[in-house]
Amino acid sequence: MGWGFKGNASHYHKISENTEALKNEYPFSDGYFGEKGDSKSNPHVRHIASDDPAKTAKAFYDSATYGGLESPLFDKNGNIIGQKTSMADGSVISWRSASHSDGSPAVDINIERSTDSGGIKQQKIHFVKEGGYETD
């Protein structure tokens, strides 16, 4: 079995190529998706609420990472805890079915090395049950 770009894309995508689809599907403001999370000290933690957080998190991740190169995400003990995708611009996006902090599904968008983030800022998005969390 060979390798290819995620979603059978024809070329290696930058995150900016997927930005419009994400902005049209999920709440987006000032470079962030969702609502500000419960953390008063970290504005990079966000929440997206839905009836099915696991399904919504995976759909968000798949849309954000279309055309990237995906590999397993490991914990410090070598166990697979999710997936990570490297994008052509240097962005790295990871998905975990359960975050360390609260157990909710989470997607991390790391644009530290991005050359073209499409206006998306560095963030960690927790996908929570509709009505399960209050936002600040």
> What pLDDT sits at residue 136?
37
> What pLDDT sits at residue 101?
83
Weakly modelled stretches of the chain, pLDDT under 50? 1, 134-136
> What pLDDT sits at residue 43?
76
Total-model pTM: 0.90
Q: Are 57 and 65 in contact (CB under 8 A)?
A: no
Closest CA to 85 of 60, 102, 105, 55: 60
Q: How far apart are the C-alpha atoms of 76 and 9, rounded to whole Å?
A: 31
